[in-house]
Structure 1
């Protein structure tokens, strides 16, 4: 690998969900530290891309390639993709009854540390860093001792995803509507964390329709997904145009 090679390379990815081929052919590059915003109407394939990269068994890759720092993601089981540095947030984070939040995150973090050749964190050191990160994200520290997402509000679930992101510090993060259910302070926490991790080299693909968030994130690239293909590539001006006119297909771009 050279410094000019993108961290993530996706080529002609085709993904089937049930009886429907949702992604027809998607190709994109994401350099280290870059931020790509992915927009598109409901059903265009935004979440499908994230779930396919993460290795969700309901999303069947029919063709194509996805490389993370030269490593073939599609040949790895889901947990090995995470150990390789991939983080995918849920659009609707589920409950994990009976599993305490702090144990869940610490186990995941130590698995990543092992993959990186780093020493595991003991419970004391982990709790100190988790409490600090929770405070910075506006997540009550009491949430650390509760079962994962059980009884959490929508905004608290999203902040809990941010807590995992802050502690895991992945190489590539795909955030699926991370702003959904967030208040103003929550959106500010998203922007602050993303900027901090980008400075450390983490690359991002952010699915969002919230123009205010997109403008604050200052993306390198904005992509419009349409019927399972990337129909347009632009910058923040593309996001602004979509905010004004919606996702109605334009004759000038329908061939893209």
Structure 2
């Protein structure tokens, strides 16, 4: 007769998180090159490693990934110039190498990781419909009772992630993601700088609208406010300023 372990949770075991970033693409609405957003990788990475976690970086197709230009602290726009965490990450060769040679999402071993976090940026809105391996992997984590997290436009994956019964895993769940008021702000900003014709939208569709359409309870904290929400083992973050808060909810769920 074998004795079943009465406490299968091993609180002292080293936790492992897979962070997924989008592969490079070209926006079908603007014609701009698009990718992932630096802080949505680097800020969670910082929180996880400070908690003693092991972190690996993946992308749907694997290989070299590129970030959206304005997320780089060295971009001439100066938009992210105060992001010292990202500045340190991209100037540390062994960390920058994680983005230059990502592993494929299909190679994520569910048994080896405790959580998956899907970062955002502009590319997910144009590419995630086709990334079926990512849809399946996120659902595998979710149905195994492990933490499934998504951040900003990375929440786009929830528009395609269905469980084994054909239901969206976000249906009936409280979630957040890039808000309509933030999409409006971004659209008006590019119009005012004559970067796009007035009336042109940067994104082909909107996270807030789609989450409501699939039956999720979408919530947000207002324009550019750091915000994340946990509903069971599903965790979502609002936008690029919410990376640390999203990661801290993952740590809260997993323990140190």
Q: Would the TM-score normalized by the shorter structure come out above 0.5? A: no
Q: TM-score, normalization: structure 1?
A: 0.31
Q: TM-score, normalization: structure 2?
A: 0.31
